[in-house]
Structure 1
Amino acid sequence: MNRTRTVALALAGAAALGVALGGAAFAQSSGPATLVASFDHQVTGVAVAQDGRRFVNFPRWTDDAPISVAEVLPNGSLKPYPDANWNSWRNVRAGELSVADHFVCVQSIVPDNQGHLWVVDAGAPGNERILEGAPKLVRIDLATNTVSKVIPVAADVALQGTYLNDIRFSPDGRTAYITDSGTRGAIIVIDLDSGRGFRALDGHPSTQVEKSVKVTLDGKPLVRPDGRQPMFASDGIAISNDGKTLYYQALTGKTLYAIDTARLRPDVSETDRAAGVRRVATTHVADGLWMSKAGVLYLTSPTDYSITRLVKDHTETVLTDRRLRWPDTFSEGPDGRIYVTASHIQDTQWFTPGAPPSIRTQLFSFSPKR
């Protein structure tokens, strides 16, 4: 921590302004993973555009973060993205600004291959009750840095108890697949042209918490003060490069599943859909999944500070770095370098009584294992 602050103090004045706005400090460091930036608030998502620009997001879980989506500038400072207005909603000012055209609780950000950055707004501050009209997908044109489309997620798709988590796209950019990591568990499918969506595998065992799985860190159960452990359903998601196979896993689980995307069309019955689910591998507690351009499926392994990759029917460790306190979400740069956020879930007020609402988090990168 002291080393990071020392590096931050050596940055130019613009970086210092970034710390004031959202807490980014740009740095490099040795080790299995390279430290890219540090933040004063809990980060979850990362996205790297084809031109190399890097973006991060900050959900409103235990902290009313001053920025929801930000571009990480070359000097490490944060710039609200696409602008300050979209990032101006606050918990303390709820009711003053429309939840339909402001970021409320952004969980993830992912670029498509059509020149857009998509923002997944779960619309549920504190990971609790959904605010009416808040769940949405926001499409930002990366060439103009402006919002070009907003798709509200209907109330019969984003049910109370739903938490829109991560998103992947069909290669043609017309369909989105979103994990619901909330109390029901499902894969939400959205037609990006019409905006219509539906819940697939809603309540199916593959999208649910595995009750036998206990989340542990350093040999100890990760539990809240009242004894509850993390109970998150379908969370990590990845799509094959040809768009034909969707992979997903519950965070509180150790089974990686897959389904052909052809079974996720609206004209397929739930019976046929369920019949198409297959077990890929027994894995480990995993938060984020990423299919690299080289066709390698990476998984975060928060309980042992690691990144793994899928090799046939099992995983193998790519790197372990104690600074990866809850490796969360992946993205890939145009040079093939993989980026991953460390969201420090174990350091939040949920699991560490007396912790401040704001916590220090990081963005790392690593060279993929060949």
Structure 2
Amino acid sequence: MYKIICHWSRLDWHFPQTVMKEEFETKQIWKKAIPASVKVDHQGQYYVSVPRWSPDIPATMNRIVVKEDKPLLEAFPSWAWNEVGDITTLQSVLGFEIDEYNRMWLLDQGKIAFEPSPDGSQKLVIWDLNSNSLVDAIVIPDEIAPYRTSFLNDLVVDNKNGFVYITDSGCGYPDHPLRGGIIVYNMKTKSFRRVLDRQFSTQDFPDFHFQIDYKPVFKNKPLRIGVGGIALSGDRSTLYYCQLTGRNLYAVHTKLLRNEQIPLEQINSSVQVLGSKGTTTDGMHADNRGNLFYTMLEGKGIGFFDARDRSFHKFVSDDRMLWVDGVAFDQKGSIIFNNNRLHEMVEDHEIDWNNPYNLIIWKAYVGKDVKSYLYG
């Protein structure tokens, strides 16, 4: 059973000033506004990230508000916190997480429109949703995520052991060799370590091409994106991940990643190839029962991997689910996910902007007491 939570023909904001609204409409900025990830907090409020792949995006982190029965985006935590050019604020957020303590972990790419990330702009920002206050902001340095090539994609949080795992897709420099990798953040020491740097599982699959609705994706310029989707098992023992241009699912034991004395070579040789999902994938999220849910770009929907017998299954699919990007849990037995037609919007396809179902946030029931890995 699945249903639509809200939908748009194109994104729109609840602007604090009329002049901002006028500029947004006149320049047709909405044509570059792509909702990437969606999450819901403990109070039931929905949040959406809109990465600044265009410098004119009004706000990169947003809360959904309803005005006159219409869903709009509102800058979160404030408009000031979304100021372009101020590296101490949010510059471009793609992946984020809301943990079991109702804290939001925001992964700031730093880069605007694929320009190099200014020094200090790449960061991990922690925001307490209960008190609506900043907890911490930790800069991710160039030697961990190179400012030119980095493309900080997504993250998972392990508060029990005190670690955060981040994917760097390594595609931040178009027409340049990829440099994919995984970044491990130690909460106790506030230090970062880069692992699986340019290892085969974090790079794009060689000469990979795929189609959606029998149409080549990025036919004029083949898409090359390294590791993007990431998930953590409910017992915190296994880190799952996948490259976007590829169909395989990979895993590595987190005990290897939590021990900084383990040589990088040993981590490289410990990667497990779990098999093909049968589809390209953008976002992933594990539950508290041993299942891993992943978006199906080619399959137009959501699939899941059962870790108990290492089997892949289709969960839900709909022809309107064009480029399902992020997936998460509402902690009430359902997953939430969004589709954004990214492949068509980025390639400037002819899109019917009057279609009220171009961009959709969905909810699908999984089962009683099924929650995020955070509650495992």
Asked if these proteins are the same fold (TM beyond 0.5), I'd say yes
- Cα distance, 1:143–1:212 mapped onto 2, change above 3 Å: same
Q: CA deviation at 1:356?
A: 11
Residues 298-355 of structure 1 show CA distances to partners (whole Å, capped at 9, x for unaligned) of 110112312111143342211111221210111110212111121221122x322677
Residue correspondences, number: 334
| Alignment-derived partner of residue 348 in structure 2 | 352
Residues 162-211 of structure 1 show CA distances to partners (whole Å, capped at 9, x for unaligned) of 11100001142621100111121111011123321011010111111101
Q: Is contact 2:55-2:112 (8 Å) kept?
A: no
Q: CA deviation at 1:85?
A: 0.8
Q: Does structure 1 residue 106 correspond to structure 2 residue 98?
A: no
Q: Decide which of 50, 57, 66 is 2:58's aligned counterpart.
A: 66
Q: CA deviation at 1:63?
A: 5.8
Q: Does structure 1 residue 161 correspond to structure 2 residue 152?
A: no
Question: Secondary structure in 1 aligned to 2:80?
Answer: coil
Query: Unaligned 5+ residue runs, structure 1?
Result: 9-14, 23-37
- TM-score (ref. length: structure 2): 0.81
Q: Decide which of 224, 235, 252 is 2:228's aligned counterpart.
A: 235
Distance 1:5 1:217 in 2: 21
Q: Is contact 1:46-1:110 (8 Å) kept?
A: no
| Alignment-derived partner of residue 333 in structure 2 | 336
Query: Unaligned 5+ residue runs, structure 2?
Result: 1-5, 22-29, 171-177, 369-376
Residues 212-250 of structure 1 show CA distances to partners (whole Å, capped at 9, x for unaligned) of 4212122222125xx221111000000001111000000
- Cα distance, 1:56–1:16 mapped onto 2, change above 3 Å: closer
Q: Decide which of 254, 259, 269 is 1:261's aligned counterpart.
A: 254
Distance 2:90 2:179 in 1: 24
Distance 1:71 1:204 in 2: 36
Identify which range, 193-202 or 180-189, moves more after superposition: 193-202
| Alignment-derived partner of residue 140 in structure 1 | 127
| Alignment-derived partner of residue 216 in structure 2 | 221
Aligned Cα root-mean-square deviation (Å): 2.9
Q: Decide which of 286, 301, 305 is 2:281's aligned counterpart.
A: 286
Distance 1:342 1:327 in 2: 4
Residues 257-301 of structure 1 show CA distances to partners (whole Å, capped at 9, x for unaligned) of 000001113211012112221111211211111102333211101
Q: CA deviation at 1:141?
A: 0.5
Q: CA deviation at 1:16?
A: 8.7
| Alignment-derived partner of residue 200 in structure 1 | 195
Aligned AA (1:165): N
Question: Secondary structure in 2 aligned to 1:77?
Answer: strand
Q: Decide which of 13, 32, 45 is 2:37's aligned counterpart.
A: 45
- Cα distance, 1:5–1:270 mapped onto 2, change above 3 Å: closer
Distance 2:332 2:270 in 1: 35
Report % sequence identity: 24
Q: Is contact 1:287-1:302 (8 Å) kept?
A: yes
Distance 1:250 1:119 in 2: 21
Residues 51-105 of structure 1 show CA distances to partners (whole Å, capped at 9, x for unaligned) of 322211110114621111112236633332111210132xxxx4xxx21x21111
Distance 1:208 1:4 in 2: 34
Question: Secondary structure in 1 aligned to 2:265?
Answer: helix
Aligned AA (2:234): N
Distance 1:276 1:4 in 2: 42
Q: CA deviation at 1:113?
A: 2.1
| Alignment-derived partner of residue 181 in structure 2 | 186
